Amino acid sequence: MNDINMTYEEALSHAPNEEPARQYFFIERCQDMLEKLKESSGKEAFTFHIATFGCQMNSRDSEKLQGILEAIGFVETDTEEADFVLYNTCTVRENANDRVYGRLGFLNGLKKKNPHMMIALCGCMMQEEKVVAKIKKSYRFVDIIFGTHNIFKLAELIHERLEAKKMVVDIWEGTDRIVEDLPTERKYPFKSGVNIMFGCNNFCSYCIVPYVRGRERSRNPEDIVEEVRQLAADGVVEIMLLGQNVNSYGTSSENPVSFAELLTRIDQVEGLERIRFMTSHPKDLSDELIEAMKKSKKVCSHLHLPLQSGSSRVLKIMNRKYTRERYLELVEKIKTAMPDISLTTDIIVGFPGETEEDFQETLDVVRKVRFDSAFTFIYSKRTGTPAADMEEISPDVVKNRFDRLLAEVQKISAEVCGRDEHTVQKVLAEEVNDYEKGLLTGRMSNNTTVHFKGDPSLIGKIVDVHLDESKGFYYMGTLA
């Protein structure tokens, strides 16, 4: 039954209970409602725009949200002057929240000009109770608010909003559900993210992610491998396996399959050329995983291994569950097994209580490991985490340390990243270069960027490129 005149309550009574059938029911309902809106408004199409903040997990979620919107009948546009604007939010740092609040004021002006416009907010920021309370009070023009656990419900929430004609708020505190097989629209035809797990059990003292993403939930390995097979059959040559801590994949399952074993299975998928993954937590990086990476023909020569601090004292307060010695031992094992591997990392400067001695230990680890690159962050207080109650360091001291760390990281990166100069390397051509006509931009297995002359028809293909000149953080090359 798909009567356009059905109320929301009547629709709920007719909707299947099981997923994803329930969401396909609401997708069909929304299709009819959108057609009716087109007729009444005289519009040929209703447009949508998704703005994604934050990590690769959010980017993958946005592809799923886009798939649902397109299945309903919305047409993508690259401007926020759209009929449906969705912000997929991040809350790792306070300034991420501030950006969203700032953009909402702008959207309010657009909405006053477009009576059909709907504004939706989802993602990690919406899992914070104080945020939702603020939006309900100060941004009453927002139409739909949902979190990280129920993004699959977008069609149902749109249906409810169109029926109820008032703000719809649907936030789950947690979930053990993983809903598969809903429409997804990939950003790139030749590469794709693949979720292997959701949530985090680590509770680092500075991090809000476990509170907004929930406990770890691993997908069934057979489902993951089958998804990769389908992607490869559809022309995908590179996948990125995604999880808050991929190294602990499977540990919460009834019949655990380790991440190393999962990699080995995916390595056997025909048509697939490259496997990437992130993020790896040092405390769970096993010898088995290092061996699986070494033996793999497809796992890329790149490992992102967040350090956060080089001080064992600070690492303990951070609740990272490893020491500087353990981290350096891991790096030694990894480099012994794979001498050409590219190592990248995350480092926090100015964690509460960090002394100059602690900071010097971080610099020492950076010099010993010689990372290809490092994402460096100034500590950002997140309310609700244990570190939020700790005494913060003077901003001037933190800024000074940040600048010194950045200078050291950039100096080493410029030296390390040039090691393949004047060699021929495999490069996945990813896009037309935005800055110089005639150039393509691609990535090597070790994740280093390469710019080279080439025809756009090469995009999505892995080609041989001679690395003519190192520019420190990227190469200029020529097709070999």
Residue 185 to residues 39, 66, 301, 378, 429, Cα–Cα distance (Å) = 27, 6, 28, 35, 20
Average pLDDT over residues 330-335: 98
What integer pLDDT is reported at residue 3 of this predicted model? 56
Tokens linked to 32: 């009819």
User: pLDDT tens digits for 386-414?
Assistant: 999 999 999 999 999 999 999 999 999 98
**Rounded to an integer, what distance in angstroms lies between the CA atom of residue 294 and that of residue 284?**
17
- DSSP alpha helix (H) spans, 338-426: 356-369, 395-416
User: pLDDT tens digits for 311-321?
Assistant: 999 999 999 99
Per-residue pLDDT band for 164 (boundaries 50, 70, 90) equals: confident
Tokens linked to 121: 């907010």
What integer pLDDT is reported at residue 126 of this predicted model? 95
Tokens linked to 410: 């950039």
Q: With H, G, I as helix, E, B as strand and everything else as coil, classify residue 433.
A: coil
User: pLDDT tens digits for 261-285?
Assistant: 999 999 999 999 999 999 999 999 9
Tokens linked to 426: 């495999």
Q: Is a pLDDT exceeding 90 seen at residue 421? A: yes
What integer pLDDT is reported at residue 1 of this predicted model? 42
Q: With H, G, I as helix, E, B as strand and everything else as coil, classify residue 249.
A: coil
Q: Is a pLDDT exceeding 90 seen at residue 287? A: yes
Q: Is a pLDDT exceeding 60 seen at residue 2? A: no
